[in-house]
């Protein structure tokens, strides 16, 4: 049925469910699929009975192989199993014990069934094989007569195979003695077996390891090899001040791993977060131009709440979250291209333990919601202060540059009108600093590739460079020169076309 007809059917015949969301119908589907049926009831019962019967045969076989009386099944094994179930697994043992028939008569019957097969196999083998027999008599401790029969197989092939197998077994024992003595846990041999039994075995092994003093790593060894944590870098924008800054670091005892010269200035990697904070404090006191990024431990939590109706204001949402014990810093309503509000709200919270509980919320102001972590965009942002790419305005103290005219002031203070010519603060071209035609602007196709592949922009650019066909340096130089010439020609022709149109308007052509 078409979706439109389905909606009409829902409104006409099920008006009480017309306003229900998708989760309501999914819950109805799950209840319908999980309903008890006769097939499932009988299948589970028959499976349990088959497992108990199989266990009865296996235990009877173990009793027969051990040579113990068959009465230990009822007298010893069943009570032992019951005790293990109660003490170790904490399960009611009565239902499980009932499904394992191990009475004296049952075990005797099982052993007789298995031994009859062995007896018939041995008789068939003796009937088709040459052998010698020797008879003797003896007596039991109660003076009962006993007839002994000794047989010797004369088949050469059988003797040869037996000797070969004995030689292989001896060689295997000598070569793989350590493997034969190795105890392999059952959860490794059968990983899809009993999960509860596996958990008990793993817990026992972990307990044994935790109490083994020989396998513990000394505390001084752990202290000598701390985990290396990468600290957020700081970029000194004025490279000419590096010598003075370096002397300040030495005198104040500020440590850094390394300092590298980059296009934007000097990139400094602090030794620790404490050194990072001391450098930032020093740069602010000395008014040293720089830009940086937030520390991982100080980054706020960005959560996206889905299902918040567009009629609810940010103030109402903030008050509701505050009543529930949260401390929202900012609440942003997402909008479409035309300014139409969407049922999506971004909530910025401090990085504390209480903020993590927001992702467990499923209701807000009476509406069913879903809270997700805001996905980090791989697109490279632009600083609205210095117009450089790769960092944000809130962590930049570099001298301001105008987006429109490239002067040393903020963009909102620019006196330039819309008709005046623009100038880029990055390349000096005749366009705004945020224009995608600027040669310093990140390529949009590479940003899309980086976002789809979940890699950085630098990795995407490097892969694109490697995959590009090799062209001679002279050809590249010609292409760059040609592009530069075309841009210059466009800047010259543009004003000429405007002047020509103005002259035509003043002196119209004679009809």
Q: Where are the domains of the chain?
A: 33-128, 234-296, 300-373
Between these two residues, 341 and 494, which has the higher pLDDT value?
Answer: 341
Q: Retrieve residue 11's tokens.
A: 């409104």
- The model's confidence at residue 27, banded by pLDDT at 50, 70 and 90, is confident
Three-state SS for 341? strand
pLDDT reported for residue 471 = 40
pTM flag (> 0.85):
no
pLDDT tens per residue across span 218-264:
655 545 545 556 788 999 988 898 989 889 888 989 998 888 888 88
pLDDT at 511 over 50: no
Considering the domain 300-373, what is its CATH architecture? 2-Layer Sandwich (3.30)
- Report the alpha-carbon distance of residue 291 to residue 107 in Å, rounded: 82
pLDDT reported for residue 47 = 54
- The model's confidence at residue 164, banded by pLDDT at 50, 70 and 90, is low
Domains 234-296 and 300-373 share a fold: yes
Between these two residues, 230 and 483, which has the higher pLDDT value?
Answer: 230
Q: What percent of the chain has pLDDT over 70?
A: 63
Please state which CATH class domain 234-296 belongs to: alpha beta
- Report the alpha-carbon distance of residue 266 to residue 47 in Å, rounded: 71
- The model's confidence at residue 476, banded by pLDDT at 50, 70 and 90, is very low
pLDDT reported for residue 469 = 44
* Torsion of the alpha carbons at 401, 403, 405 and 407, rounded to the nearest 10: -10
Q: Where are the beta strands (DSSP E) in 363-464?
A: 363-364, 367-368, 370-373
- The model's confidence at residue 480, banded by pLDDT at 50, 70 and 90, is very low
- Report the alpha-carbon distance of residue 84 to residue 93 in Å, rounded: 9
- The model's confidence at residue 454, banded by pLDDT at 50, 70 and 90, is low
pLDDT tens per residue across span 305-364:
988 888 888 888 888 888 888 988 888 888 887 778 888 888 988 888 888 888 888 888
Q: Are 350 and 327 in contact (CB under 8 A)?
A: yes
pLDDT reported for residue 83 = 85
Q: What percent of the chain has pLDDT over 90?
A: 3
């Amino acid at each position: 049925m078409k979706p439109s007809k389905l909606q009409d059917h829902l409104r006409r015949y099920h008006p009480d469910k017309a306003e229900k969301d998708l989760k309501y119908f999914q819950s109805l589907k799950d209840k319908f699929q999980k309903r008890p049926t006769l097939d499932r009831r009988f299948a589970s019962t028959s499976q349990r009975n088959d497992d108990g019967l199989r266990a009865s045969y296996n235990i009877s076989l173990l009793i027969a192989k051990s040579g113990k009386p068959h009465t230990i099944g009822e007298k010893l094994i069943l009570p032992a199993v019951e005790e293990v179930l109660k003490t170790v697994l904490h399960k009611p043992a009565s239902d499980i014990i009932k499904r394992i028939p191990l009475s004296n008569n049952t075990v005797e019957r099982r052993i007789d069934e298995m031994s009859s097969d062995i007896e018939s196999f041995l008789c068939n083998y003796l009937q088709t094989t040459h052998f010698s027999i020797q008879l003797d008599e003896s007596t039991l401790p109660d003076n009962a007569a006993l007839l002994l029969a000794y047989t010797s197989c004369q088949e050469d092939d059988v003797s040869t195979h037996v000797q070969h197998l004995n030689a292989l077994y001896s060689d295997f024992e000598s070569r793989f003695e350590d493997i034969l003595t190795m105890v392999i846990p059952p959860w490794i041999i059968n990983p899809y077996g009993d999960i509860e039994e596996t958990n008990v075995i793993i817990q026992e092994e972990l307990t044994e390891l935790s109490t083994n003093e020989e396998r513990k790593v000394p505390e001084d060894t752990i202290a000598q090899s701390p985990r290396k944590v990468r600290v957020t870098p700081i970029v000194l924008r004025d490279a000419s001040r590096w010598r003075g800054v370096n002397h300040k670091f030495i005198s104040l005892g500020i440590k850094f791993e390394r300092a590298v010269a980059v296009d934007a200035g000097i990139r400094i990697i602090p030794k620790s977060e404490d050194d990072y904070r001391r450098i930032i404090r020093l740069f602010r006191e000395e008014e040293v131009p720089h830009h940086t990024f937030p520390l991982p431990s100080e980054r706020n939590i960005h959560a996206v709440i889905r299902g918040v109706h567009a009629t609810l204001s940010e103030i109402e949402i903030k008050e509701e979250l505050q009543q529930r014990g949260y401390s929202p810093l900012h609440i942003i309503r997402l909008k479409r291209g035309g300014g139409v509000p969407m049922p999506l709200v971004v909530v910025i919270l401090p990085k504390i333990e209480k903020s993590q509980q927001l992702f467990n919320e499923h209701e807000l102001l009476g509406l069913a919601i879903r809270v997700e972590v805001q996905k980090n965009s791989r697109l490279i942002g632009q600083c609205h202060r210095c117009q450089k790419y790769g960092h944000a305005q809130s962590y930049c103290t570099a001298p301001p540059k105008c987006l429109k005219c490239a002067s040393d002031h903020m963009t909102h203070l620019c006196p330039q009108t819309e008709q005046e010519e623009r100038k880029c603060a990055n390349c000096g071209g005749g366009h705004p600093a945020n224009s995608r035609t600027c040669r310093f602007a990140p390529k949009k196709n590479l940003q899309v590739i980086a976002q789809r592949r979940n890699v950085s922009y630098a990795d995407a650019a490097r892969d694109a460079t490697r995959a590009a066909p090799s062209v001679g340096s002279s050809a590249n130089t010609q292409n760059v020169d040609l592009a530069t010439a075309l841009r210059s020609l466009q800047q010259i022709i543009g004003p000429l076309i405007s002047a020509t149109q103005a002259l035509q308007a003043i002196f119209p052509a004679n009809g």
